[in-house]
């Protein structure tokens, strides 16, 4: 079938670790045709359908660090999204206004017959920081507020806290404030901008020293290995983008408990792929926009995450 990937520019892909590339490679291996567009290639006009300016690409078989000729363009066309077998929304965060508008175009395309993964409505309904609020039994002490006074009271109670913006990614804008409260006022001012922006505050979890685990859930089923992203040096963040070291490891009983409780619920809402972030025993985020870590898990653990994903995609298309 023809697969349309709505993604960031292909020339920026780091193919040695990009999960969207891993999806493409597995889909091509099975004989599916690969098409790609960027969010600004989507459009709609009265009397017509949502369409995309898209390029059909072929993989060259070359990939890895520093490789920039990993694909060739075989064709270009403007096509309605409903003509593709599946549309995969794989634009990286942040979830800004343009991302929001793209989900509305994709939802319109769904009503016209397109099959879009992850579901555009589900992308909007599950902001990655706030989605955990639906599952309080799995999270640590957490506060979501605009109030500086609330944050100070939370710190006084918890003594060691993490503060982060709701629209951050890759560990951007994350601060730790220990018992001494050093720089708490300045950090609050930076993040909540005089009460104009909402902040998430969580109790610091010492288990971060063993890694911030990415647990992938595909079609409601957990991948049997997580990628523990371990902070390096004096860094408090385990995110790979912040210099964390990724180590694949089997799911713990608690990882599996969390994934098996949340996965089927979110899969039923159209979230074919999610990435749970787990520190120790606690869920900290639910990633839905373009979860990653496929290649790191496959390379280290030998489990083919992309194959599991394309299996689930094919089932979803056939069943829908």
Catalytic residues: 129, 164, 214, 229, 237, 277, 285, 287
Q: In 3-state terms, what secondary structure has residue 143?
A: strand
Strand partners, 164: 200
Q: For tokens 């608690």, what's the residue?
A: 254
Give the helix/strand (H/E) hosting 267: helix 253-267
Q: What residues form DSSP beta bridges with 221?
A: 218
Q: Which helix (H) or strand (E) holds 316?
A: helix 305-319
- Lay out the sheet containing 199-203: strands in order across: 142-145, 199-203, 161-165, 175-177
Q: How far apart are CA 116 and CA 270, in angstroms?
A: 9
- Cα torsion 63, 69, 71, 75 to 10°: value is 180
């Amino acid at each position: 079938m023809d697969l349309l990937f709505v993604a960031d520019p292909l020339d920026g892909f780091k193919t040695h670790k990009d999960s969207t590339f891993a999806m493409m490679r597995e889909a091509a291996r099975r004989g599916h045709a690969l098409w790609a567009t960027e969010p600004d290639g989507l459009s709609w006009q009265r009397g017509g359908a949502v369409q995309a300016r898209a390029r059909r690409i072929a993989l060259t078989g070359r990939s890895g660090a520093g490789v920039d000729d990993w694909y060739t363009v075989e064709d270009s066309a403007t096509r309605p999204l409903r003509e593709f077998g599946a549309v995969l929304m794989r634009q990286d965060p942040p979830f800004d206004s343009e991302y929001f508008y793209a989900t509305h175009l994709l939802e319109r395309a769904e009503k016209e017959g397109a099959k879009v993964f992850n579901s555009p409505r589900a992308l909007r309904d599950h902001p990655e920081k706030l989605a955990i609020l639906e599952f309080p039994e799995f999270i640590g002490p957490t506060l979501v507020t605009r109030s500086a006074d609330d944050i100070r009271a939370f710190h006084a109670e918890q003594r060691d806290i993490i503060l982060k913006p709701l629209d951050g990614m890759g560990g951007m804008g994350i601060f730790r404030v220990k018992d001494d409260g050093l720089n708490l006022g300045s950090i609050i001012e930076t993040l909540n901008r005089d009460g104009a922006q909402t902040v998430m505050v969580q109790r610091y979890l010492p288990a971060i020293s063993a890694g911030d685990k990415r647990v992938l859930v595909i079609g409601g089923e957990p991948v049997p290995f997580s990628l523990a992203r371990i902070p390096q040096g004096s860094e408090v963040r385990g995110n790979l983008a912040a210099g964390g070291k990724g180590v694949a490891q089997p799911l713990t009983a608690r990882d599996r408990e969390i994934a098996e409780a949340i996965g089927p619920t979110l899969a039923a809402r159209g979230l074919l792929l999610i990435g749970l972030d787990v520190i120790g025993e606690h869920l900290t985020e639910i990633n839905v926009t373009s979860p990653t870590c496929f290649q790191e898990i496959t390379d280290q653990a030998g489990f083919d995450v992309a194959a599991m994903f394309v299996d689930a995609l094919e089932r979803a298309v056939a069943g829908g």
